[in-house]
Amino acid sequence: MFDGTTPLISAVMTGKMIRSLLMIGALLLSTSGFSQDDPATFKNFQFSFSRVSQAWLKYNDTLSKTFTEKGLAYPPHEIFLRSFKSNNEMELWARNDDTSAFTLVKNYRVCALSGILGPKRSEGDRQVPEGLYFIDDFNPKSDFYLSMLLNYPNYSDMVMGDKKKPGGDIYIHGGCVTIGCLPLTDVFIQELYVLCLNAKLNGQNYIPVHIYPTRFDRQGLNFLGRNYSTDLDKQKFWVNLKAGYDYFEKTHKLQPVMYAADGKYVFQ
């Protein structure tokens, strides 16, 4: 629990900014974030690619209908993605304003997984990261159809993992293959890309993506306890992550992502 004395760092930064931050030894960063692309330029660039324009024509009306049936505005005011590695699932949540609780919209299947349960700690470990991230970039010409870059490594990853070679280029993408990313089928990535693109164009610059080893319910905790009882580092990390998971399960709201100087997530 934050007691007002532990240094905190905001999550709204790119991996490159984090590395610069560590080099200068600073422990605080403004929550104002970094400058975004001009919206009109960004939109024109994205829709200049046939993969994006065709996906939008194919899925935008269906997404609008789905959101309307859930009582949600479309284009969305705010969306949130939550993925569970052992379950091969990625949940889509949305809400209409900054004070409302999130509503579960649908569940996508993550169609491949590499590594084992546990966070990514170094380049080449083939691990899918675990932690609290956001979408950092949209790639309309991906080798895996369409892709969205996550801001891995975040501050926690840089402190707790390999500081020189933490790895990077972690995407949500199509193609259904992976060596550390979160792959969907080409059909699902088209739909999700259109949705996230619309959310960004509607003003949501930072779309949260939380990645957990499993659901921290009784079944999930029993599984982790049986299979990772001797891995104290992972157990401590998961206890830290569970605090954020529990808060969302109770309220269907998100807290700002903050870090202690030792890399732990801080939940108030």
State the SS3 of 129-140.
CCEEEEEEEEEE
What was the pLDDT predicted at 67?
Answer: 98
Do the domain assignments include residue 35?
Answer: no
Residue 2 belongs to a domain: no
Q: How far apart are CA 182 and CA 85, in angstroms?
A: 9
* Cα–Cα–Cα angle for 190, 188, 102, rounded to 5 degrees: 100
Identity (one letter) of the amino acid at 192? Answer: L
pLDDT of residue 113: 87
- Boundaries of domain holding 227: 8-30+46-96+104-214+223-266
Mean pLDDT on 107-117:
93
Compute the distance between CA of residue 106 and CA of residue 241 in angstroms, rounded to an integer: 23
Q: What tokens were used for 228?
A: 């990772």
Domain assignment of residue 37, yes or no: no
Examine residue 38 and state whether it is found in any structural domain, yes or no.
no
User: For residue 34, what pLDDT is reported?
Assistant: 36
Q: Which residue has the higher pLDDT, 251 or 29?
A: 251
**Residue 1 forms part of a structural domain:** no
Q: Is residue 53 part of a domain?
A: yes
Confidence at 35, pLDDT banded by 50, 70, 90 = very low
Query: pLDDT tens-digit profile of 49-83?
Result: 999 999 999 999 999 999 999 999 999 999 999 99
pLDDT higher for 35 or 166? Answer: 166
Interatomic CA distance for residues 95 and 83, integer angstroms: 18
Q: Do residues 112 and 183 touch, judged by C-beta distance below 8 A?
A: yes
As a whole number, mean pLDDT of residues 4-31 equals 43
CB count in 10 Å sphere of residue 145 = 22
79 burial level (CB within 10 Å; 0-12, 13-18, 19+): buried
Higher per-residue pLDDT: 27 or 192: 192
Q: Hey, what's the torsion of the CAs at 18, 148, 204, 107, to 10 degrees? A: -120
Residue 15 has pLDDT above 50, yes or no: no
Evaluate whether residue 190 is within a structural domain.
Answer: yes
- CATH number for the domain including 233? 2.40.440.10
* 175, 180, 182, 187 alpha-carbon torsion, rounded to 10°: 0
Assign 38 a pLDDT band (cuts: 50, 70, 90).
confident
Q: How many structural domains is the chain composed of? A: 1
Q: What is the mean pLDDT of the chain?
A: 89
Q: What pLDDT was estimated at residue 20?
A: 46
CB 6 within 8 A of CB 261: yes
Q: How confident is the model at residue 9 (pLDDT cuts 50, 70, 90)?
A: low
Q: How confident is the model at residue 46 (pLDDT cuts 50, 70, 90)?
A: very high
**pLDDT mean over 175-183:** 92
Q: Which residue's entry shows tokens 């109770």?
A: 250
Q: Does residue 173 carry a pLDDT above 50?
A: yes
pLDDT of residue 231: 96
Report whether pLDDT(91) > 80.
yes
- pLDDT at residue 164 tops 50: yes
22-26, 44-48, 99-103, 219-223: least confidently modelled range? 22-26
Using a pLDDT cut of 70, give the percent of the chain over it: 86
Residue showing tokens 């400058």: 35
